[in-house]
Amino acid sequence: MNDSKRMIDLRSDTVTRPSEGMRKAIARAPVGDDVLGDDPTVKELEARMAAMFGKEAALYVPSGTMSNTLAVLSQTRPGDEMICDKNCHIFNYEAAATAVIGGVQLNTLDGNRGVLPFDDLVAAVRPINIHHPRTSLIEVENTHNRAGGSIYPYDELERVSRFARESGLRLHMDGARLANAVVGSGISFEKYASLADSVTFCFSKGLGAPVGSILVSDAEVIERARFWRKRLGGGMRQAGILAAACLYALDNNIDRLAEDHENAGRIAKVIDSSSRAKLVFPVETNIIIFEVVDKSDSIEKVREELEAEGILTLTFGNRMRMVTHLDVSSEDTDVVVEVLSRILSQAR
Ligand X SMILES: Cc1ncc(COP(=O)(O)O)c(C=O)c1O
What residue ranges bind ligand X (CB under 6 A)?
A: 63-65, 68, 89, 141, 145, 174, 176, 202, 204, 213
DSSP state of 134: E
DSSP state of 36: G
If the CB atoms of residues 62 and 240 are measured against ligand X, the closer one turns out to be 62
If the CB atoms of residues 64 and 240 are measured against ligand X, the closer one turns out to be 64
**Smallest distance, ligand X to C-beta of residue 205, A:** 6
**Smallest distance, ligand X to C-beta of residue 175, A:** 8
> In the chain, what's the furthest Cα-to-Cα distance?
63
If the CB atoms of residues 180 and 274 are measured against ligand X, the closer one turns out to be 180
If the CB atoms of residues 93 and 227 are measured against ligand X, the closer one turns out to be 93
Q: How many helices (H) and strands (E) does the chain have?
A: 14, 13
**Smallest distance, ligand X to C-beta of residue 63, A:** 3
If the CB atoms of residues 81 and 174 are measured against ligand X, the closer one turns out to be 174
**Smallest distance, ligand X to C-beta of residue 241, A:** 18
**Smallest distance, ligand X to C-beta of residue 64, A:** 2
CB atoms within 10 A of CB 310: 15
* Strand-pair partners of 290: 279, 320
SS3 146: coil
Distance CA 101, CA 85 (A): 20
The residue type at 337: V
If the CB atoms of residues 12 and 274 are measured against ligand X, the closer one turns out to be 12
**Smallest distance, ligand X to C-beta of residue 67, A:** 8
124: enclosing H helix or E strand:
helix 118-124
> Residue with the closest Cβ to ligand X?
64
**Smallest distance, ligand X to C-beta of residue 235, A:** 17
If the CB atoms of residues 70 and 270 are measured against ligand X, the closer one turns out to be 70
Strand intervals (E) in the chain: 8-9, 57-61, 80-85, 105-109, 134-141, 170-175, 198-202, 213-217, 277-279, 287-292, 311-312, 314-316, 319-323
Distance CA 32, CA 315 (A): 42
The residue type at 258: A
**Smallest distance, ligand X to C-beta of residue 254, A:** 17
SS3 6: coil
CA 67 distance to own-chain centroid: 11
Please name which of 122, 183, 119 lies closest in space to residue 151, comparing C-alpha atoms: 183
**Smallest distance, ligand X to C-beta of residue 212, A:** 8
The residue type at 314: L
If the CB atoms of residues 71 and 164 are measured against ligand X, the closer one turns out to be 71
If the CB atoms of residues 63 and 105 are measured against ligand X, the closer one turns out to be 63
Torsion of Cα atoms, 172 then 90 then 85 then 215, to 10°: 20
